């Protein structure tokens, strides 16, 4: 089981700049679909990569689904040479994304994110409209199902205040 609370706290306590996307963002907006991992888009600055390494090192991140014993090292060199990482940690599964299809990187998504306060931490979450756009762009059948639910959520919420 993924401990969303502990994962978000570990990242925010270390000062990592990230935006929650994917299934957890959908849950934040009201989705009832089950998701197992936390997907976040992280900022790829040297300072932030160092914070990311420090935040997760205590939880022994490892490549999810890879056989045990590979010489995987969780350090900035590894992150610099990669982009997206699907990890398993002692707190649960975490997808660290440098970029997402249809959305780009952290700085592209930042204007479409909102700050949420949850479990006594503040973090950024992709807003509903942008989440629908990137899910559409991902183009997998399961994403279209998710888009259908998210569009229904948007209809049920009605227009934003002041619109």
Partner 1 sequence: MTEPGRSSIDDIIDVYKRDVDRTLIRERLKRTVEERLEDLMDFQQFAEELRRAGRDTTQA
Give me 9's structure tokens: 């706290």
What span, in angstroms and rounded, lies between the C-alpha atoms of 113 and 26?
13
Nearest to 1 by CA among 88, 121, 116: 88
Of 77 and 152, the one with the shorter C-beta distance to partner 1 is: 152
Minimum CB–partner distance for residue 70 and partner 1 (Å): 26
Residue 26, classified by CB atoms within 10 Å of its CB into exposed (0-12), middle (13-18) or buried (19+), is buried
As measured in angstroms, the least distance from the Cβ of 127 to partner 1 is 13
| Chain residues that interact with partner 1, rule: CB under 8 A | 1-5, 24, 27-28, 30-32, 34-36, 116-119, 136, 139, 144-145, 147-149, 151-153, 156-157
State the nearest-atom distance from the C-beta of 43 to partner 1, in Å: 23
* Residue placing its CB nearer to partner 1 in the complex, 59 or 74: 59
What is the C-alpha separation between 86 and 128, in angstroms, rounded?
Answer: 23
């Amino acid at each position: 089981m993924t401990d969303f609370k502990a994962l978000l706290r570990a990242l925010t306590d270390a000062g990592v700049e990230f935006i929650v996307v994917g299934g957890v963002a959908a849950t934040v907006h009201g989705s009832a679909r089950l998701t197992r991992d936390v997907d976040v888009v992280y900022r790829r600055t040297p300072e932030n990569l160092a914070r990311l390494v420090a935040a997760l090192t205590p939880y022994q991140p490892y490549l999810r689904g890879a056989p045990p014993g590979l010489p995987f090292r969780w350090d900035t060199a590894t992150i610099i040479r990669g982009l997206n990482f699907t990890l398993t940690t002692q707190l649960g599964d975490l997808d660290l994304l440098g970029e997402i299809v249809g959305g780009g990187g952290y700085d592209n998504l930042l204007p479409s994110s909102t700050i949420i306060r949850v479990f006594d931490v503040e973090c950024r979450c992709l807003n509903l409209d942008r989440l629908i756009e990137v899910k559409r762009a991902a183009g997998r059948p399961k994403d279209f199902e998710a888009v259908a639910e998210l569009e229904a959520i948007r209809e049920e919420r009605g227009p934003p205040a002041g619109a």
